């Protein structure tokens, strides 16, 4: 008998939580946005740097952006558009506008190097991009090698009120000098795009079905290497409903203020903040740079949030900030950590400082992304990833694909409406992780008799740096492209601040290579969080009998 057929986690559900969620009333994200904005029109939807946009304003601005894409640029259903910016008011406007227009959003981390941008842009076949001016120089370096024809440039303060906008953009450009020169021509400013889009208010929009693709979300995936999960409108709409189901037991519609400290281009924050809490009529406070903890603490003091969405490393950084411990936490109802595991010491320290538990869950890009979370109706079980969300089935399987007994280790397999349809243009990789409707995550877990899941081993070799996935094969590939490197191997090691850091072992092909030279090269090819904090040169690396670097044995070389 399959021990998971009875769904043992249901015995741990609150009596108020149904085992399944009803089919959402929205076919698409665009419908969700329009109906939510009509319901909560005059309430604040998003704020950033002290400026706010109401739900009505978000609806109107995203309509304008959709009009610009369709009427001015002539883009159509299924065309890909890249969004590359941190948490600014422009992001939800561009996201919702693109999805209303039937386009497919390709999220790009602003920290990407030009090399990383080129790979994503070429693979996705994107024809348009919205990019923050601060990163336009990197786009200029690669745009001729891509399909991108339309560039919308935005400045940090573009949707701030008049005087604040002018001052902010002046300081960013001329005082902080954060806007490098670039050679892009024929671009459109974000504000001009919105103005032009207003002329196309009556333009017919494509009919967007639930099965249509909403996102190409790039990830190393469960198999490593760069690839995009194909996420449909139904995946996103369903997952936000699944995630909201347990949250409704503690939170009230239209009354919550939520801190969005994770970037919205990350699938976790996109679904949780920009979709779930948005659809619940919540006020999302967008944090542009959470590393500036003093500014973040000031924002927490001013906005008095009831919900905090963060990562474990940010929780740790806040706990070290004296100003944070002086805040009033009486209004905080919920703190959720995504993107990486929560250390037990951090969870305990958080409770001591705030009087609240930090809830840990589990997700992956291929599941849009949330799979499980610790319960909101009772004390969380620290060290576990909680219980599967409603309408989510879990099986733990051995290497032959047979379900293991409760309490035994097995690969975590997921089935539910949030599971992607596959990887973009990669049928072999898709077939490797999708079997008969089940997503094989590559993570090894155990399940207790009452349904709590504990991750006991990691996806093969993946390193998680401050909530971002780093795949050793990518770093190794970049390192070995240097003509003075003969061989490379990468592992992750524990780190108190970032959870893990990257360590690169390298074998020189030329003895003249120095660490500084290699670091300078890696800086041009890899985003900061992917770069190794330690580089160790060795005469040779341990390998299997077929020549594969044995990463587990690299640890013995530390």
CATH number of the structural domain spanning residue 181: 3.40.50.980
Neighbours of 544 (CB within 10 A): 9
- Asked if the model's pLDDT at residue 96 lies above 80, the reply is yes
Rounded to whole angstroms, the Cα distance separating 233 from 377 reads 29
Q: Are 472 and 550 in contact (CB under 8 A)?
A: no
The predicted pLDDT at position 24 comes to 87
List pLDDT tens digits, range 328-369: 999 999 999 876 667 677 788 899 999 999 999 999 999 999
Residue 527: helix, strand or coil by DSSP?
Answer: coil
Asked if the bond preceding 420 is cis, omega within 30° of 0, the reply is no
Instruction: Please state, for a pLDDT cut of 90, what percent of the chain lies above it.
Output: 82
Which of 208, 236, 271 is the last residue before a domain boundary?
208
Nearest to 246 by CA among 394, 420, 371: 371
**338, 368 Cβ separation under 8 angstroms:** no
The count of domains in the chain is 2
Residue 407 domain flag: no
Name the 3-class secondary structure at 506.
strand
Mean pLDDT of all residues in 12-20: 98
The answer as to whether 265 is a domain residue is: no
Of 361, 353, 396, 412, the closest CA to residue 382 belongs to 361
Say which CATH number the domain at 548 has: 3.30.300.30
Residue that terminates a domain, selected from 192, 208, 224? 208
Full domain range(s) for residue 508: 463-557
- Rounded Cα distance, 233 and 211, in Å: 6
Query: Does residue 533 belong to any structural domain of this protein?
Result: yes
Q: In 3D, which of 484, 496, 83 has the Cα closest to residue 269?
A: 83
Q: Are 489 and 505 in contact (CB under 8 A)?
A: yes
Cα-based distances in Å from 117 to 126, 146, 256, 429, 548 = 11, 10, 36, 22, 28
Percent of the chain with pLDDT over 70: 97
In the predicted structure, residue 70 carries a pLDDT above the cut 60:
yes
Q: Is residue 178 part of a domain?
A: yes
DSSP state of 68: I
**51 is a domain residue:** yes
Burial (CB count <10 Å: 0-12, 13-18, 19+), residue 43: middle
- Do the domain assignments include residue 362? no
Whether pLDDT at 282 is above 70: yes
Confidence of residue 297 (pLDDT cuts 50, 70, 90): very high
The pLDDT of 110-124, averaged and rounded, is 95
**CA torsion through residues 490, 491, 497, 499, sign:** positive
Question: Domain for residue 550, yes or no?
Answer: yes
Token pair for 25: 């009333």
User: What's the pTM?
Assistant: 0.89
- Cβ neighbours for 358, distance < 8 A, ≥ 6 positions apart: 312, 315, 335, 336, 337, 342, 346, 347, 350, 351, 380
Query: For residue 113, is pLDDT > 60?
Result: yes
Quick one: pLDDT band at residue 383, thresholds 50, 70, 90?
confident
Size of the chain, expressed as the number of residues it contains: 558
Where does 379-452 have alpha helices with state H?
A: 427-433
- Going along 282-392, which residue ranges are E strands? 283-286, 307-310, 334-337, 358-363, 370-373, 387-388
244 within a domain of the structure (yes/no): no
Last residue within a domain, chosen from 175, 208, 241: 208
- Average pLDDT estimate for 267-283: 97
């Amino acid at each position: 008998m399959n021990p998971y057929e009875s769904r043992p986690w249901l015995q741990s559900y609150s009596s108020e939580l149904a085992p399944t969620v009803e089919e959402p009333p929205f076919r698409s994200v665009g419908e969700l946005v329009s109906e939510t904005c009509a319901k909560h029109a005059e309430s604040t939807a998003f704020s950033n740097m002290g400026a706010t946009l109401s739900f009505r304003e978000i609806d109107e601005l995203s309509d304008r952006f959709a009009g610009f894409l369709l009427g001015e640029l002539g883009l159509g259903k299924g065309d890909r558009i890249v969004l590359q910016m941190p948490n600014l008011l422009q992001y939800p406007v561009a996201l919702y506008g693109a999805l209303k227009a039937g386009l497919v959003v390709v999220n790009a981390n602003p920290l990407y190097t030009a090399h990383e941008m080129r790979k994503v842009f070429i693979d996705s076949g994107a024809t348009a991009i919205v990019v923050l001016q601060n990163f336009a120089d990197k786009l200029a370096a690669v745009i001729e090698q891509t399909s991108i024809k339309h560039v919308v440039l935005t400045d940090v303060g573009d949707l701030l009120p008049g005087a604040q906008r002018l001052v902010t953009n002046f300081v960013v450009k001329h005082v902080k000098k954060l806007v490098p020169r670039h050679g892009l021509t024929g671009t459109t400013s974000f504000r001009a795009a919105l103005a032009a889009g207003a002329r196309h208010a009556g333009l017919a929009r494509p009919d967007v079905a639930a099965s249509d693709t909403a996102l190409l979300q790039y990830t190393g995936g469960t198999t490593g290497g760069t690839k995009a999960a194909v996420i449909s409108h139904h995946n996103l709409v369903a997952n936000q409903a699944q995630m909201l189901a347990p949250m409704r037991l503690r939170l009230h519609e239209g009354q919550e203020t939520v801190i969005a400290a994770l970037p919205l281009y990350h699938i976790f924050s996109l679904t949780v903040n920009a979709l779930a809490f948005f659809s619940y009529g919540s006020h999302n406070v967008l944090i542009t740079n959470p590393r500036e903890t003093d500014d973040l603490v000031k924002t927490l003091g001013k906005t008095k949030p009831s919900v905090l969405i963060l990562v474990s490393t940010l929780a740790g950084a806040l706990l070290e900030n004296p100003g944070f411990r002086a805040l009033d936490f009486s209004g905080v109802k919920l703190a959720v950590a995504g993107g990486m595991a929560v250390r037990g010491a951090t969870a305990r320290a958080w409770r001591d400082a705030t009087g609240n538990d930090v809830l840990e869950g589990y997700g992956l890009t291929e599941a849009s992304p949330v799979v499980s979370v610790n319960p909101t109706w009772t004390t969380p079980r620290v060290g576990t990833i909680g219980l599967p969300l409603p309408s989510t089935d879990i099986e733990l399987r051995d290497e032959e694909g047979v379900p293991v007994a409760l309490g035994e280790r097995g690969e975590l397999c997921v089935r539910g409406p949030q599971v992607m349809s596959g990887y973009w243009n990669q049928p072999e990789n898709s077939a490797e992780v999708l079997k008969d409707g089940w997503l094989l995550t590559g993570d090894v877990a155990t399940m207790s008799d009452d349904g709590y899941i504990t991750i006991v081993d990691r996806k093969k070799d993946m390193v998680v740096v401050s909530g971002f996935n780093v795949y050793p094969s990518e770093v190794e590939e970049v390192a070995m492209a240097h003509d003075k490197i003969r061989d490379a191997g990468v592992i992750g090691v524990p780190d108190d601040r970032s959870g893990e850091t990257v360590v690169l072992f390298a074998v020189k092909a030329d003895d003249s290579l120095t660490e500084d030279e290699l670091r300078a090269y890696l800086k041009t090819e890899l985003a900061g969080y992917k770069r190794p904090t330690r580089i160790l040169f060795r005469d040779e690396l341990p390998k299997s009998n077929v020549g594969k670097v044995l990463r587990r044995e690299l640890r013995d070389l530390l």
